[in-house]
Amino acid sequence: MTAEDRLGAAVKRLAARADADALAAAVVQSVAEEVWADEVDDPAFAAAMSMSVRDNVRAALEMLAGRLELGSARPPGALAFIDLVAEAGLPVGRVEAAYWVAMRRFWREWFALAKEAAEAGEGTLEEFVGVPVELMFEHLTGVLDLVVARHESIHAQIRHTREEKRRVLVAEVLDGSTSISIGDAERTLGYGFNAGVHLALTVERATRSELERCVGKLLPACNAQAHLVHFHGASRWLLWLRFERLPAVECLDRAAAVLAESGVVAAIGEPGSGLRGFRQSRRDALEASNLRSRFHGFAPVLWYRDVRLEALLMNDEESARRFVADELAELAGPGARMARTRETLRVWLMTGSISQTSAQLWIHENTVRLRVAQAEKKLPGDPRERRTEILSALRLRAMFDGAGNPAES
C-alpha cells in the first residue's frame, strides 16, 4: 500500500478546506525574508517567487486532499521562477535553501491546523502528521530534482554562450574586478569605455526583441556612436549609449520621446565621461528605477535629474518622512484638498508670482491667494524664510502621495 493510499479521510478533508492563499502567504513571507531578501525589492522577481510558492503550496494541498498523485505535480509557477533565477545567474543552492525554508514553514502551518482538528475530534494528531510527512518529503525531493536539473540545464546553456560571457565581463567592468585590461574588454564587447560620453538607461518589463526594436530607433534618433546592453535581472535591462561629446538637450529629448513611443518603462541617468561616467550613469539610472519601484505616480520615462533630490533624501526614508512632517506640519495631512493646496504653494514658491502660478495651474488668481494663505496658516513658519526646505518637503510629500498611503505618510 502506497503512502497515498494510507491517507485518511480526515487528512483529505482538512487539506481540502485549508486556506491555500493564507498558507501560501505565510510561506512566501518566510522564503522572502530568509532567502531572497535582496532580490524581492524587484517587483518582477517578487511576483515570480510568490507565484512559485503559491503553485507549490496548492500542489501540496491537492496531494494531501487525494486529488493529485505523487510525482505528477509540475507547478508552472515553480518552473517559470527557476528559469528566471537561472537567467539572472543566481546559484541553485539558494533555490534548494528556499524549498527547505518553505517546507519548514508549510509544516508549521499544517501542524497548527492538524492540532486544532485533532482537538476537535476529527482525527488523531498521528493521522494528520505521520503519512503526510512521508508524502511531502517524497514530493519535495522530487520537485527539487526537477528544478535543480532545469536550473543546471539553463545555466549551462547560458554559461557557454557569448551573451553570458559578455554579461559577466560587463559586470566585471562595472565593479572593477576584470582580469583583463579595459582595452581587451572594449575589444571583446565592441564598446569603448574610456573615450566619449556615456548615457545609461534602465528598460523594464521588456522582452529582448522589444528592447532590440527600441534600440534600433534610439541610435539614429540621438546620433549615438555605439551601444551596450546588459541583462540586470528579472525584467530589467541596462542600456548604455555612447557619444563623442556631451549630447545636446534636443538629442536627449528625442531619446526620451523614442522610449515613450515604444511603450517601455525606462529610467535615464546623467551623461558621464569615460569609464567613471559609464559607471556613474548606470548608478544614476538604477537609483531612479529603484525609486519608481517604491513609489507610484512617476512617468514611464523617468530622468534621474528630475528625482535626484528625492533619491538623495530617500537614502534614509525614516528621516525623510520626519523631515516632511517637521517642515510641513498640518500641511502634510491627507486628502485631495490638502494635496491641491500643497501643489499651489509649490508652484508659487518656485515662480514667486501669483499670476504665473495662476497661469501654470489654470486656476484664478484669487484661488491662488486663498490657497497660499491657507498653506501659510498650517506651516510652522513663513515659507519664504525656508523656501528651499519647504520646496524639498513638498516634493517628497508629492512622491509619498504616489506610494498608495498618503494618509499614513
- Let me know the angle formed at the C-alpha of 234 by 178 and 404, rounded to the nearest 5 degrees: 125
Four-way CATH pick for 315-401: 3.40.50.300, 1.10.10.2840, 3.10.450.50, 3.50.50.60: 1.10.10.2840
Spatial distance between the Cα atoms of 306 and 288, rounded to a whole number of angstroms: 9
- 405 vs 48: which has the higher pLDDT: 48
pLDDT of residue 309: 83
Each residue of 294-338: pLDDT tens digit?
A: 887 788 999 999 888 888 888 778 888 888 888 888 888 888 899
pLDDT above 90 for 78:
no
Note the pLDDT tens digit of each residue in 6-39: 788 999 999 999 999 999 999 999 999 999 998 8
User: What are the structural domain ranges in the chain?
Assistant: 9-159, 190-294, 315-401
pTM of this structure: 0.54
Helix (H) / strand (E) element for 80: namely helix 76-87
CA atoms of 290 and 238, how far apart (whole Å): 13
- Check pLDDT > 60 for residue 230: yes
Q: What is the CATH number of domain 190-294?
A: 3.30.70.260
Asked if the model's pLDDT at residue 163 lies above 80, the reply is: no
Q: How far apart are CA 15 and CA 5, in angstroms?
A: 15
